[in-house]
Structure 1
């Protein structure tokens, strides 16, 4: 029997036809996604669900989706899908991460032009029958310095377009290597340097714990007087209250925002201010981008339902169903190893070296590589998946190398990941025990045996008495329960490490208290996706 797909949001007719041409039975109900009760009633009939942003795929919907195998999101954002619930149900979640890059980059450039020449205000004035030619004095882009915060996919396109406009481009991106920056024709700088030198600043980073309010009140105060700020990336990257004050004082000459901390933005502190251009999250709103992502999701879902091929999956490696049964625990381990390295590394990564030993060396190493790299990159881009991660790494000039060898240790198989930066090398190794559970077995060359939990705490110190007692007492006094406690050292009185698996996130005051003891050279909370 042919697979059956439901399209519950508005997709193009061409996308619907792709399903039909491939022999898939498709029901096109573009308004169904707005009726969650009706969707829950009907979803049990379908093998695939194709959506945009209007359909909310909750755990209730997934509970009713008794036959569902794949969800395809036409676009990059998947906040409207409960991915944890989907994974537990064995439902693959796909997106189309590259379909709207050019469109979003072009919108940022358009917004930069608009704020530089005060086009919206001048247009409104002219429509009103005024002829205020002298009022709207603008500035040229040619010869100005553009500061790009985030030089990945979209940011890289903006850099290219800006160079075509004869702007000088400086870029801040922790994952941008010098070689890649040279090829892009941009100057790689630290954030404070970018703030000090830029005539225009544009943001192209995801919203994460690290990037929230990256343009804070203090950061805005460091900017060049007369700067103009453009945000077409994510709301919450800029302190809107602080920006409004800087606009009123004249320190910031203008701003152009497509995204806001709270959306839909029917009210905002920036609204009504002079030389502030606002649009309602239009970054991906072009005919071409909407068509591209619709066609891509139809092709991807058809490929999976008919052949088992997995592309742009957020919760599954690009492997066959048969491989996935054997490789599942190893894919999870690879992701954990990458996540550890990613959370520990702040400076730009030059190379990622992955060693496979023993039984794992005969598996699908490409998929395992993708899982490692995705784990590393998720620190700066939560939307990254196993397909897009290697592309993002390549764009940043990161060299990825793989070595596989026959069994050379006490384990049937293990994976070792080493990351090379301009300052250091950092390595971690892990294996999968017979119970199918991943374990960390070596960090920085120090042997350990650590169970992996959602919340962990990593510390380094000189091998002296009192470390265990300090950790245990501090955790206990602050109500942090330790599920597993692993220690290791390079040699007596040498470097030592501890890895604690705790029940809940370690509060910041506890981290600060441990740091204040002077016993530890490093205290780092870690989070792993163990779902």
Structure 2
């Protein structure tokens, strides 16, 4: 059955057609996003939801979204999506951060010119029949110091364009490397130095706990007299009340704002102040950008629903289509290892330790981590997946660690998992053979070679005669066929294990017979999603 996608906001017909061309069953109802009750009634039918800003993906809506796998936001901002609730629900949240980068960067540059030359005010005056040539004395941008807060995708484009305009550009960004700064042609600066030296300050960071009010009253007071402030990023980055007072006092010469603390902004403290230019969140509002993000979200969602490729996800590691093909068996192995250990214990899990050895270390380990954790967690919660499992693990205080190792042993690459609980530790390791099938190669330090099937039986015992006979006879008498039988031991007379691949799940009657035989220290039926 084809995946079903609902488009509940305005998307171009070309983007909707991409879903159809890719074999997606798409419903295009751009008015539905504004009707939360109607949306809640139908959302349970869909695997994907494509939105812009009108649709609010709340925790309440997600409770109704019983089949939802992915939400795709055509644009950068996902403030209208409850990402924590989506992660708990196992729903991937994607955005399209690259489709409107140039458009937003150009809007910031446009506001710089508009503020520097008071273009909107001069236009209003001139069209009113006035000719106030001497009133509008602006400043040049050439030769001025531009301070860029955030030199990521959009900020980097602003840096390049500002350098091209002949501005001296300094950037504050904790993640800006020396190499990238050199490539952009900008000077790395700490925030205090940027505030003290910049003639124009432009912001290009997301709104987080770290960046909220980054231009606070305290930081705005550190700026040089005559500075101009540009914000095309997010409302809440600037203390608008403090900025308004500094504009009134003449310390700040002007400001260009496209985003506000409260939107729609109908009564901002900045409105009507001299030297201030305001636009209604137009950063991404160009024909090209709106088309680009719509096409991009349609492609991303289709790729995920059809191939498992994850692009621009905010709550899960990205996995390209090529990676998905190569990593598919390894992701399955990671899930099997987690599921094996997860089914062995009911004790509280304290830590999950994952070791990657050899060739597997070159893969997307973040995605493999998610698969391992999901395998472990779904034994207690069958509804978890690669998105929700890490969130649940963190909420439970489970420590997650990852180690990479150079190739050792006979295998080109393998994954080893150790789960530490309040009672004991469990370990298992596996690899993927050339046939693409995951195999268990070690359990509790015992080397084995076991194919993984949907129905399995795991037993432990002291290494004594009669174990194989007891297993074979008991299962045979109960009519359970053995597809594959693997044995292993640490050394003669010590701990031994058996892992059996069965044609059907053993009944409680079978398990009781084995346990009552007195030959086994533990008997565990196992299920795997193969």
Assess same fold via TM > 0.5: yes
- For the residue of structure 2 that corresponds to 1:253, the secondary structure is strand
- For the residue of structure 2 that corresponds to 1:224, the secondary structure is coil
Shift of the alpha carbon at 1:109? 0.2
TM-score scaled by length of structure 1: 0.64
Shift of the alpha carbon at 1:26? 1.2
CA distance in 2, matches of 1:359, 1:178: 31
Structure 2 CA distance for partners of 1:292 and 1:194, relative to 1, 3 Å: same
- Is the CA contact (8 Å cut-off) linking 2:235 and 2:262 kept in structure 1? yes
- For the residue of structure 2 that corresponds to 1:277, the secondary structure is strand
Structure 2 CA distance for partners of 1:369 and 1:306, relative to 1, 3 Å: closer
How many residue pairs are counted as aligned between the two chains? 366
Shift of the alpha carbon at 1:260? 1.2
- For the residue of structure 2 that corresponds to 1:138, the secondary structure is coil
Query: 2:265 — aligned with what?
Result: 265
CA distance in 1, matches of 2:365, 2:71: 23
CA distance in 1, matches of 2:318, 2:199: 43
- Is the CA contact (8 Å cut-off) linking 1:358 and 1:405 kept in structure 2? no
CA distance in 1, matches of 2:23, 2:59: 29
- Is the CA contact (8 Å cut-off) linking 2:357 and 2:404 kept in structure 1? no
Query: 2:206 — aligned with what?
Result: 206
Structure 1 stretch displaced more, 36-45 or 119-128:
36-45
- Is the CA contact (8 Å cut-off) linking 2:147 and 2:198 kept in structure 1? yes
CA distance in 1, matches of 2:368, 2:81: 21
Query: 1:36 — aligned with what?
Result: 36
CA distance in 2, matches of 1:360, 1:227: 54
- For the residue of structure 2 that corresponds to 1:260, the secondary structure is coil
Query: 1:100 — aligned with what?
Result: 100
- Is the CA contact (8 Å cut-off) linking 2:357 and 2:407 kept in structure 1? no
Counterparts of 1:16-35 in structure 2, within 5 Å, are 16-35=16-35
Structure 2 CA distance for partners of 1:175 and 1:370, relative to 1, 3 Å: farther
Shift of the alpha carbon at 1:63? 2.2
Query: 2:134 — aligned with what?
Result: 134
Structure 1 or 2, whichever has the larger Rg, is 2
Structure 2 CA distance for partners of 1:328 and 1:59, relative to 1, 3 Å: farther
Structure 2 CA distance for partners of 1:167 and 1:304, relative to 1, 3 Å: same
Structure 1 stretch displaced more, 96-105 or 322-331:
322-331
Query: 1:405 — aligned with what?
Result: 406
CA distance in 1, matches of 2:337, 2:139: 55
Give yes or no for the alignment of 1:433 onto 2:434.
Answer: no
CA distance in 2, matches of 1:328, 1:197: 53
Query: 1:287 — aligned with what?
Result: 287
- Is the CA contact (8 Å cut-off) linking 1:235 and 1:261 kept in structure 2? yes
Counterparts of 1:332-343 in structure 2, within 5 Å, are none
Give yes or no for the alignment of 1:367 onto 2:364.
Answer: yes
- 1:175-217 Cα offsets, whole Å, 9 max, x none, are 1122321221111112121122111111111122222222222
- For the residue of structure 2 that corresponds to 1:433, the secondary structure is strand
- Is the CA contact (8 Å cut-off) linking 1:327 and 1:363 kept in structure 2? no
For structure 2, the 5+ residue unaligned runs are 339-352, 370-386, 388-402, 426-530
Counterparts of 1:56-135 in structure 2, within 5 Å, are 56-135=56-135
Query: 1:306 — aligned with what?
Result: 306
- Is the CA contact (8 Å cut-off) linking 2:152 and 2:204 kept in structure 1? yes
CA distance in 2, matches of 1:246, 1:153: 30
Shift of the alpha carbon at 1:110? 0.2
CA distance in 2, matches of 1:216, 1:169: 22
- Is the CA contact (8 Å cut-off) linking 2:56 and 2:81 kept in structure 1? yes
Structure 2 CA distance for partners of 1:315 and 1:220, relative to 1, 3 Å: closer
CA distance in 2, matches of 1:244, 1:115: 15
CA distance in 2, matches of 1:276, 1:366: 50
Structure 2 CA distance for partners of 1:12 and 1:223, relative to 1, 3 Å: same
Query: 1:6 — aligned with what?
Result: 6
- Is the CA contact (8 Å cut-off) linking 1:78 and 1:95 kept in structure 2? yes
CA distance in 1, matches of 2:283, 2:418: 43
Structure 1 stretch displaced more, 105-114 or 70-79:
70-79
Counterparts of 1:312-323 in structure 2, within 5 Å, are 312-319=312-319, 320=324, 323=330
CA distance in 2, matches of 1:133, 1:432: 76
Structure 2 CA distance for partners of 1:88 and 1:287, relative to 1, 3 Å: same
- Is the CA contact (8 Å cut-off) linking 1:359 and 1:407 kept in structure 2? no
CA distance in 1, matches of 2:217, 2:123: 31
Shift of the alpha carbon at 1:271? 0.8
CA distance in 2, matches of 1:117, 1:370: 50
Structure 2 CA distance for partners of 1:271 and 1:172, relative to 1, 3 Å: same
- 1:404-454 Cα offsets, whole Å, 9 max, x none, are 32579xxx978xxxxxxxxxxxxxxxx751669xx9xxxxxxxxxxxxxxx
CA distance in 2, matches of 1:328, 1:313: 20
Counterparts of 1:328-477 in structure 2, within 5 Å, are 358-359=355-356, 363=360, 365-368=362-365, 404-406=405-407, 432-433=418-419
Query: 1:340 — aligned with what?
Result: none
- 1:360-397 Cα offsets, whole Å, 9 max, x none, are 6564754225899xxxxxxxxxxxxx9xxxxxxxxxxx
Shift of the alpha carbon at 1:38? 0.8
CA distance in 2, matches of 1:90, 1:267: 39
Query: 1:497 — aligned with what?
Result: none
Query: 1:51 — aligned with what?
Result: 51
- For the residue of structure 2 that corresponds to 1:222, the secondary structure is coil
